[in-house]
Amino acid sequence: MDMHAPKKKLGLKEKYQVMTRGLDWEPSYQKKEDIYPYATYEGIKIHDWDKWEDPFRLTMDAYWKYQAEKERKLYAIIDAYAQSNGHLNVTDARYLNTVKLFLTGVSPLEYMAHRGFAHVGRQFPGAGPRVACLMQSLDEIRHAQTQIHALSNYNKHYNGLHEFRHMHDRVWYLSVPKSFFDDAITAGPFEFMIAIGFSFEYVLTNLLFVPFVSGAAYNGDMGTMTFGFSAQSDEARHMTLGLEVIKFILEQDPDNLPIVQRWIDKWTWRGYRVLTLVAMMMDYMLPKRTMSWKEAWEVYFEENGGALFKDLARYGIKIPKCAETIALEKDHLSHQAWGTFYNYGAAAAFHTWVPEKDEMDWLAAKYPDSFDKYYRPRLEYWREQAAQGKRFYNKTLPMLCQTCQIPMLFTEPGDPTKICYREVDYKGGKYHFCSDHCKEIFEHEPEKYVQSWLPVHQIYQGNCFPEGTDPTAEGFDPLAAVLQYYHLEFGRDNLDFEGSEDQKNFETWRGQATKNV
């Protein structure tokens, strides 16, 4: 009789080897170029895919085990939060507007990230990155689902959340995050990895999730805290994938450096522009603040990103040029963005307001060089006007940047009193930009960016009215028609927080929760 000694369990490194590379095979009756048709056209040269190392060495079996545990924890908390009417514990109802912006602007991007990683995971000829992309693709659909589930609880009670998917494809400010991801997903597989895996995940995602989710916890929103940190627990793996991609590409061939540097410059800027919305959420929309946008930028980009780029210097990579412009904008970004949304509060699916006095004092302390000088007087003026019954709503549509699709609200680097305009003539058309960086991105790939679906242009061309609308009819109200097309209910989903249905309901329900009535 044979006696088999029990087999020794494999160590982490061997197990990873067996469960990734060991599952790959060499094709025999199809050519590699036909199986991986997108692997070379971007000009990136890879000589040996086996040099790829996935430092986490997570294999699919362990992946399912830990993800299942994360899901069990998450749904237990979400259910308990909903069951106990946890929404009434948030600091005040203004907070809920961050959640609306998150669901309409960010959650659909999680779904696009799922598609993007599924696509590039299929296209890479190496087994290591294919497995890592497969896991990230699954993570991203989990993020989309858990966010939708968690936030659907708010939709039972508050306005502006009812049509997040419909709005994402249509509403003017949501074209900013939407076009960012559409831009990435329509690039080649290597550019997508630098765009999302490196520039967004490694360099910028901490700014979106860490201080904002910590802020959600601070404001009593256990639902957002839970899905946020649960998503973030996958993020460490995504960041590591992003860093590995860069190192791998640069080590494979010196010709790859200029291509990669251009992508890093482009995508750091593209991602940073999207984070304008986050800057505003942190400084203006969280009733209890944890950290200012400027502080978060200093910790997560200047300190942490600085360490990263210092490390990558050995490959010849330089810190993106836009970092200088961003440093000049950090005292102004959130204030200029909130001012713009306050103006266009009639066309947004969330409420806006003028901050309270103690909030302005906090902003002044965090922004000693800019807030009192440039932004407080404007906010106080708006408050006075509103008190006299003249709450200002801007009815003129703004010019948009052709690249980032943000209204031209940013000021000249170094001069916060002058709006920054750039333009380019291309094939008989004139194109407008918010900055030198957006202009340069356009100039390098004009055929891509002339196709931008710019909400303001689309409205003026008559493409954003409900079907059957007659704009020549007597008394036609274009704003009303656009809001109908957005599925945004006037007087409920939009306008100032003061006097809103959300404000009244929250007050009543919280009253019922704390008193016997």
Partner 1 sequence: MSTVFIAFQANEDTRPIIEAIAEDNPHARLNEAPAMVKIDAEGRLTVRRSSIEERLGRDFDLQELHVNLISLSGHIDETDDEFTLSWNA
CB of 138 to partner 1, least distance (A): 14
As a whole number of Å, the end-to-end CA separation of the chain is 81
From the list 438, 441, 459, 482, which residue makes contact with Fe ion (rule: CB under 5 A)? 438
Q: Does 99 bind partner 1 (CB under 8 A)?
A: no
Parallel, antiparallel or unpaired: strands 429-433 and 415-419: unpaired
Q: Does 434 bind Fe ion (CB under 5 A)?
A: yes
Nearer to partner 1, 105 or 242 (CB): 242
Range in contact with partner 1 (rule: CB under 8 A) among 56-64, 83-91, 100-108, 248-256: 56-64
438 binds, among partner 1, Fe ion, none (CB under 5 to 8 A by kind): Fe ion
How big is the site for Fe ion, counted in residues (CB under 5 A)?
Answer: 8
218 binds, among partner 1, Fe ion, none (CB under 5 to 8 A by kind): partner 1
Q: Does 109 bind Fe ion (CB under 5 A)?
A: no
Q: Does 291 bind partner 1 (CB under 8 A)?
A: yes
Range in contact with Fe ion (rule: CB under 5 A) among 58-66, 155-163, 427-435, 464-472: 427-435
217 and 225 Cβ atoms separated by less than 8 Å: yes
**Cβ-based burial of 333 (10 A; exposed 0-12, middle 13-18, buried ≥19):** buried
- Residue the block writes with tokens 């200088």: 324
Quick one: DSSP state of residue 495? S
The runs of H, that is alpha helices, within 253-314 are: 256-274, 276-280, 293-297, 304-312
From the list 48, 253, 311, 356, which residue makes contact with partner 1 (rule: CB under 8 A)? 311
Q: Which of residues 391-410 bind partner 1 (CB under 8 A)?
A: none
Question: CA–CA separation, 204 vs 202, rounded Å?
Answer: 6
Closest listed residue to residue 429, CA positions, set 418, 442, 420: 442
Question: CA–CA separation, 136 vs 234, rounded Å?
Answer: 8
Nearer to partner 1, 175 or 206 (CB): 206
Q: Does 69 bind partner 1 (CB under 8 A)?
A: yes
411 binds, among Fe ion, partner 1, none (CB under 5 to 8 A by kind): none
CA distances for 310 relative to 145, 268, 306, 307, 313, angstroms: 37, 16, 6, 5, 5
How big is the site for partner 1, counted in residues (CB under 8 A)?
Answer: 43
- Rounded to a whole number of angstroms, the CA Rg of the chain reads 24
What is the number of helices (H) and of strands (E) in the chain?
Answer: 24, 4
Q: At what angle do helices 127-155 and 96-105 cross, to 10 degrees?
A: 140
Q: Which of residues 156-185 bind partner 1 (CB under 8 A)?
A: none
Q: Does 229 bind partner 1 (CB under 8 A)?
A: yes
Q: Does 264 bind partner 1 (CB under 8 A)?
A: no
Q: Does 82 bind Fe ion (CB under 5 A)?
A: no
110 binds, among Fe ion, partner 1, none (CB under 5 to 8 A by kind): Fe ion
CB of 295 to partner 1, least distance (A): 11
**Local structure of 450: helix, strand or coil:** coil
Q: Does 143 bind Fe ion (CB under 5 A)?
A: yes
Nearer to partner 1, 131 or 354 (CB): 131
From the list 88, 118, 141, 217, which residue makes contact with partner 1 (rule: CB under 8 A)? 217
Q: Which residues of 92-129 are buried (b: 16+ CB within 10 A; e: fewer)?
A: ebbbbbbbbbbbbbbbbbbbbbbebbbebbebbebbbb
Question: CA–CA separation, 198 vs 10, rounded Å?
Answer: 31
264 and 271 Cβ atoms separated by less than 8 Å: no
153 and 240 Cβ atoms separated by less than 8 Å: no
CB of 493 to partner 1, least distance (A): 29
Q: Does 401 bind Fe ion (CB under 5 A)?
A: yes
Q: Which of residues 265-294 bind Fe ion (CB under 5 A)?
A: none
206 binds, among partner 1, Fe ion, none (CB under 5 to 8 A by kind): partner 1
Q: Does 440 bind Fe ion (CB under 5 A)?
A: no
404 binds, among Fe ion, partner 1, none (CB under 5 to 8 A by kind): Fe ion
289 binds, among partner 1, Fe ion, none (CB under 5 to 8 A by kind): none
Q: Does 12 bind partner 1 (CB under 8 A)?
A: yes
**Backbone φ, ψ for residue 161 (5° rounding):** -110, 0
Range in contact with Fe ion (rule: CB under 5 A) among 19-27, 284-292, 399-407, 467-475: 399-407
CB of 311 to partner 1, least distance (A): 5
| DSSP codes of every residue in 337-363 | HHHHHHHTTTSSSS-B-PPPHHHHHHH
Question: CA–CA separation, 407 vs 25, rounded Å?
Answer: 50
From the list 110, 283, 440, 493, which residue makes contact with Fe ion (rule: CB under 5 A)? 110
CA distances for 510 relative to 350, 491, 514, 515, angstroms: 21, 22, 6, 9
Range in contact with partner 1 (rule: CB under 8 A) among 34-42, 68-76, 165-173, 481-489: 68-76
Nearer to Fe ion, 201 or 359 (CB): 201
From the list 196, 285, 308, 400, which residue makes contact with partner 1 (rule: CB under 8 A)? 308
Question: CA–CA separation, 289 vs 211, rounded Å?
Answer: 10
Q: Does 404 bind Fe ion (CB under 5 A)?
A: yes
Hey, what are 186's tokens?
Answer: 């329509």
Q: Can you give the binding site for partner 1, defined by CB under 8 A?
A: 11-13, 55-58, 62, 66, 69-70, 73, 206, 209-211, 213-215, 217-218, 225, 229, 232-237, 239-240, 243, 290-291, 303-304, 306-308, 310-311, 313-314
